Chain A
Amino acid sequence: MPSTPSTTTTTTISTVGPPSRRNTELALLAFAVILPCFAYANVGLALDGEMPSGMLGYGLGLGLLAGVGHLVVRKFAKYADPLLLPLATLLNGLGLVMIWRLDQSERLARLAKAQGFTFQASAPNQLLFSAMGIALFVGVVIFLKDHRILQRYTYISMVVALVLLVAPVFFPGKFGAKIWITVPGLGSIQPGEFAKIIIAIFFAGYLMVKRDALALASRRFMGLYLPRGRDLGPILVVWALSLMILVFETDLGSSLLFFGMFVVMLYVATERTSWIVFGLLMSAGGAAVVGSFEPHVKVRVMAWLHPFAVYDTPRPSWATTEQIAQALFAFGSGGVFGTGWGQGASDLIQFAANSDFIFASFGEELGLAGAMGLLLIYGLIVERGMRTALAARDPFGKLLATGLSAGFGIQVFVVAGGVMGLIPLTGMTMPFLAQGGSSVIANWALIAILIKISDTARRPAPAPAPSTDAEMTQVVRP
């Protein structure tokens, strides 16, 4: 008896698709909003002995922003990584609480008065900037239909990045670095934060096109593969230019960040370890040259090696600030469990307690436990970005995701490492935590791009066209 042919089709791809994890994201978001609310209450109770009056508005504000972010992601990036948005929201929320807490510092208020300017609360501004950041996030998620569109703007990106980097030269410097553009009425912008993203786009776009040429069309020289000048030239020029500008503006943190991003992306694009070797050699050379010529850098290195020299008598001429020593004291006084929200004295670091040194403020009030938690959140964001890169199907997306997340990681390392005295302090902002508009807005844009890439990466492959093979074979009867 002939067997009856099967009428069911079997394919390995289910039509339901992988779970979108949007509800996971929502649950995590709720947590990321509630936690800062508790922190806020905690600060109020510690400082004034009562619940802070703005609690409800603050909680609603953060909740609203997170809610909008979530809805937009749900609608326009359904398959996006569910961790990125909640993690960023949590950091932003905690940063707001810490900034608000430092706004209450009588010590800072008196310091400002003594130095002749009026003390301004930073938290309301920061909330505004966060809203603008989320707005940009929403804009990117909605209007950036596909991250690959960015590829078209490779060379425009290069120009924009260079312009952004050059611009601060024409504006007055602050605190020894020329990294601000001052717009009357609006305050100052740090274009470097935005340049970080744009230059990653340029690197990704360029390297994607040239990767084969860079990797293969190379000459062997002393055991290393050197690419042809016409392949490497443009990117090397851009990188060197940006580096020079940054050194000129004494924005050391950003130089380090750009350099790191450059090496990482080159390595990922070409898969050649020799780039790492080159990178290390070049950075060592660069560091030596800059370190010996640039007095600003020398000061930073000395201050890193001898953080307490500022208290010596006679005081060495390069010991101009006690901020690093104060930050180390803050960490030490925090100990394992911290002093508790609102009960530390990290405002002794003075005006940078809520910006460059905000991580030290967290270290003091939340202790080793809290600081490690924050570092792990950062680590998680970076690794989710890397995961996105792994999952991305197109080389541009892979490169961009790697560049952005590695850049994010390097920035965290440079800032936190500098504040903790692990490496010389170079002055960058702790993403999302630190007070400062450009940083918050730019980092929200960064998260938005990662979310878009992860959405594309995790989106189920389109159902295959109905296969003719699966149709019943027609039996031709004689």
Chain B
Amino acid sequence: MNKPVRRIAIFCGLLVLALLIRDNWLQFVQADELKTHKKNRRVDIARYSQPRGNIIVDGQAITGSQETGGVDFKYKRTYKNGDMWAPVTGRSSQVFGATQLESIYDRVLIGDDDRLFFNRTVDMITGKGKKGGDVITTLNSKAQEAAFKGLGDKKGAVAALDPRTGKILALASTPSYDPSKIAGANDGEAWTALDKDKNQPMLNRALRQTYPPGSTFKVVTAAAALEDGLYKDVDSKTNSPLPWTLPDTVTPLDNEGNLPTCKDGTLREALRISCNTVFGKVSADLGNKKMMAMAEKFGFNNKEIFTPVRVEQSVYPKDNRPQNAMAGIGQASNRATPLQMAMVASAVANNGKLMEPYMVDKVRAPNLNVIETHQPKEMSQPFSKKTAQQLQSIMETVVQDGTGQNGQIPNVTVGGKTGTAQHGVDNTANPYAWFISYAKTDNGSPVAVAVVIEGSDTDRSDIAGGKLAAPIAKSVMEAVLKTSK
């Protein structure tokens, strides 16, 4: 009977071999995949087993860590002035995951980044726990405060940039939420409340919400007209009739109120009092292709804008002639994020050069060694310096003498454009109040801002943007001007 016994012995050997092979497959080949699987709780357990690194603004940490005494998670994330900074930091929740900077720089913050390898090794040898690195942002806390306070209990967003570098200076969104309240392991109720809130406090309106840009888009239309050479300069007559009918239709395009100077008005005059007829016609004359090309140079139709937080795509779609004419006044299917409109203002302020917006300046190791520095990058050159100067000139007229007078700052040159975007079925809903602007000093322009306020119940006139949004933009600009001296 020995022959079959030998064969059975071999069979049993093969069973063990199969187990060994499977074990190697699991623990060697697939190990990393399983180790980092998003449902593997060990990832979170490790993530919260030590204090996280911090997100820093103006040298001050706007985040912190707190010991919880829990079984799985020893520390939880805390936020200083969380409501105000939520659109910048995102959240790091033990249960609901991380978003935005907390998520993008997670590996740095928990000290797992490969560039921290040396630190980790030293800490391991000296017996110290793993420490996280810090993320240093470009934000300006005074500007952020001005933006957040300015929005107050209104629903809206502010995005401010340094046009010279693309640094994001302020990023506010209201209503907001305090990420501290949902950071812990037992914050399910707070989460449900936030999640179900119809005002969407967790939505980052500055980066992730698109709005019809309204009249602020007329700056883009003007840029397209000047670059195309449709008009010699901003002070030449535009040959636009009043009333003006949308192409291919019998529908007249109205202005907000009785604006007789819109008839044949110059670009300067048309922007000053925000003539729909003039810019609708300009857009129609240029055509969809040219309008789209200009919008795209500003960053529209680009899904790949990362600050490094992803920015929702602003769109300027292919359209028929009447829709394209409406898009020229920001009132058709084109939509923009507040950051996108701040980029428009900043390209004008920076003499036609659009810098890539970014909000993380440096990443540093726990021992304060800088392991990553962001160099400002040029994103595009939507128009020439000459066009830029003409645009600046008319935007400054808007603030000095037009709809944007609420944006004036004494002894500072400010350019801007108001907007009131209608929305809702048959434009029944309350309009969005917009204001984009920039301030100029001797060293170029240190700040460009876009403000949007949703659902304002003010009169539906083009003044709304100037009345509601401009003062906020003004205080943000002032804050930047004060601190950049």
Question: A332 near B18 (CB under 8 angstroms)?
Answer: no
Question: B40 near A417 (CB under 8 angstroms)?
Answer: no
Question: B35 near A335 (CB under 8 angstroms)?
Answer: yes
Question: A334 near B27 (CB under 8 angstroms)?
Answer: yes
Take A335-B27, A372-B20 as given contacts and tell me if A106 and B13 are in contact as well, using a CB distance cutoff of 8 Å.
no
With both beta carbons as reference points, the residue of chain A lying nearest to B3 in the complex is identified as A271
B39 within 8 A of A: yes
In the bound assembly, the distance between CA atoms of A333 and B6 in angstroms comes to 38
From residue 4 to 39 of chain B, which have CB atoms closer than 8 A to chain A?
4-9, 11-13, 15-16, 18-20, 22-24, 26-28, 30-35, 37, 39
Interface mask (A401-431 → B, CB under 8 Å = 1, otherwise 0): 0100110011011001100111000000000
Interface mask (A368-393 → B, CB under 8 Å = 1, otherwise 0): 10011001101100110011011000
In the bound assembly, the distance between CA atoms of A444 and B165 in angstroms comes to 76
Residues of B within 8 A of A412 (CB): 15-16, 19
In the bound assembly, the distance between CA atoms of A267 and B12 in angstroms comes to 14
In the bound assembly, the distance between CA atoms of A345 and B9 in angstroms comes to 36
A342 within 8 A of B: no
With both beta carbons as reference points, the residue of chain B lying nearest to A275 in the complex is identified as B4
Question: B16 near A335 (CB under 8 angstroms)?
Answer: no
Interface mask (B27-55 → A, CB under 8 Å = 1, otherwise 0): 11011111101011110010000000000
In the bound assembly, the distance between CA atoms of A159 and B34 in angstroms comes to 47
In the bound assembly, the distance between CA atoms of A325 and B30 in angstroms comes to 13
Question: A363 near B18 (CB under 8 angstroms)?
Answer: no
In the bound assembly, the distance between CA atoms of A325 and B41 in angstroms comes to 11
A395 within 8 A of B: yes
In the bound assembly, the distance between CA atoms of A402 and B9 in angstroms comes to 8
In the bound assembly, the distance between CA atoms of A371 and B21 in angstroms comes to 11
A136 within 8 A of B: no
Q: In the complex, how many angstroms separate the beta carbon of B186 from the nearest chain A beta carbon?
A: 13
Take A332-B37, A420-B22 as given contacts and tell me if A368 and B8 are in contact as well, using a CB distance cutoff of 8 Å.
no
Q: In the complex, how many angstroms separate the beta carbon of A280 from the nearest chain B beta carbon?
A: 12
With both beta carbons as reference points, the residue of chain B lying nearest to A310 in the complex is identified as B39
Question: B27 near A405 (CB under 8 angstroms)?
Answer: no
In the bound assembly, the distance between CA atoms of A389 and B11 in angstroms comes to 15
Residues of A within 8 A of B33 (CB): 332
Q: In the complex, how many angstroms separate the beta carbon of B44 from the nearest chain A beta carbon?
A: 10
Q: In the complex, how many angstroms separate the beta carbon of A456 from the nearest chain B beta carbon?
A: 16
Question: A413 near B19 (CB under 8 angstroms)?
Answer: yes
In the bound assembly, the distance between CA atoms of A348 and B43 in angstroms comes to 12
Question: A336 near B28 (CB under 8 angstroms)?
Answer: yes
Question: A376 near B16 (CB under 8 angstroms)?
Answer: yes
Question: A413 near B18 (CB under 8 angstroms)?
Answer: yes
In the bound assembly, the distance between CA atoms of A379 and B10 in angstroms comes to 11
Question: A383 near B9 (CB under 8 angstroms)?
Answer: yes
In the bound assembly, the distance between CA atoms of A416 and B1 in angstroms comes to 30
Q: In the complex, how many angstroms separate the beta carbon of B95 from the nearest chain A beta carbon?
A: 14
B72 within 8 A of A: yes
Residues of A within 8 A of B13 (CB): 379, 382-383
Residues of B within 8 A of A398 (CB): 1, 5
Question: A402 near B71 (CB under 8 angstroms)?
Answer: no
Take A410-B15, A417-B18 as given contacts and tell me if A363 and B27 are in contact as well, using a CB distance cutoff of 8 Å.
yes
Take A409-B15, A422-B22 as given contacts and tell me if A268 and B8 are in contact as well, using a CB distance cutoff of 8 Å.
yes
Take A390-B5, A402-B8, A417-B22 as given contacts and tell me if A375 and B16 are in contact as well, using a CB distance cutoff of 8 Å.
yes
B60 within 8 A of A: no
A171 within 8 A of B: no
In the bound assembly, the distance between CA atoms of A402 and B18 in angstroms comes to 20
B258 within 8 A of A: no
Q: In the complex, how many angstroms separate the beta carbon of A416 from the nearest chain B beta carbon?
A: 5
A37 within 8 A of B: no
The 8 Å CB contact of A329, one of B3, B7, B24, B40, is B40
Residues of B within 8 A of A406 (CB): 8, 11-12
Take A383-B13, A398-B5 as given contacts and tell me if A371 and B23 are in contact as well, using a CB distance cutoff of 8 Å.
yes
The 8 Å CB contact of A332, one of B8, B15, B40, is B40
A311 within 8 A of B: yes
B2 within 8 A of A: yes
Question: A375 near B4 (CB under 8 angstroms)?
Answer: no
In the bound assembly, the distance between CA atoms of A456 and B12 in angstroms comes to 23
Residues of B within 8 A of A367 (CB): 27
In the bound assembly, the distance between CA atoms of A402 and B15 in angstroms comes to 15
Q: In the complex, how many angstroms separate the beta carbon of A196 from the nearest chain B beta carbon?
A: 16
Question: A383 near B12 (CB under 8 angstroms)?
Answer: yes
Take A308-B39, A331-B34 as given contacts and tell me if A267 and B4 are in contact as well, using a CB distance cutoff of 8 Å.
yes
Question: B6 near A390 (CB under 8 angstroms)?
Answer: yes
Q: In the complex, how many angstroms separate the beta carbon of B73 from the nearest chain A beta carbon?
A: 12
Take A269-B1, A345-B45 as given contacts and tell me if A420 and B8 are in contact as well, using a CB distance cutoff of 8 Å.
no
Question: B20 near A375 (CB under 8 angstroms)?
Answer: yes
With both beta carbons as reference points, the residue of chain B lying nearest to A347 in the complex is identified as B71
In the bound assembly, the distance between CA atoms of A386 and B24 in angstroms comes to 26
Question: A389 near B16 (CB under 8 angstroms)?
Answer: no
Question: B35 near A332 (CB under 8 angstroms)?
Answer: yes
Interface mask (A328-353 → B, CB under 8 Å = 1, otherwise 0): 11011111100000000100100000
Q: In the complex, how many angstroms separate the beta carbon of A36 from the nearest chain B beta carbon?
A: 22
With both beta carbons as reference points, the residue of chain A lying nearest to B32 in the complex is identified as A332
In the bound assembly, the distance between CA atoms of A260 and B127 in angstroms comes to 52
Residues of B within 8 A of A399 (CB): 1
Question: A348 near B41 (CB under 8 angstroms)?
Answer: yes
Residues of A within 8 A of B12 (CB): 379, 382-383, 386, 405-406, 409-410
Residues of B within 8 A of A319 (CB): none
Question: A332 near B31 (CB under 8 angstroms)?
Answer: yes
Q: In the complex, how many angstroms separate the beta carbon of A81 from the nearest chain B beta carbon?
A: 14
Residues of A within 8 A of B40 (CB): 329, 332-333
Question: B5 near A389 (CB under 8 angstroms)?
Answer: yes
In the bound assembly, the distance between CA atoms of A417 and B14 in angstroms comes to 13
Top 9 A-B pairs, shortest CB-CB distance: A332-B34, A386-B9, A368-B27, A379-B16, A409-B12, A413-B15, A329-B40, A422-B22, A268-B4
Q: List 13 A-B contacts (CB under 8 A).
A: A110-B71, A264-B11, A268-B4, A332-B35, A334-B27, A336-B27, A336-B28, A336-B31, A367-B27, A387-B9, A402-B8, A406-B12, A412-B19
Interface on B for A, CB 8 Å cutoff? 1-9, 11-13, 15-16, 18-20, 22-24, 26-28, 30-35, 37, 39-42, 45, 71-72
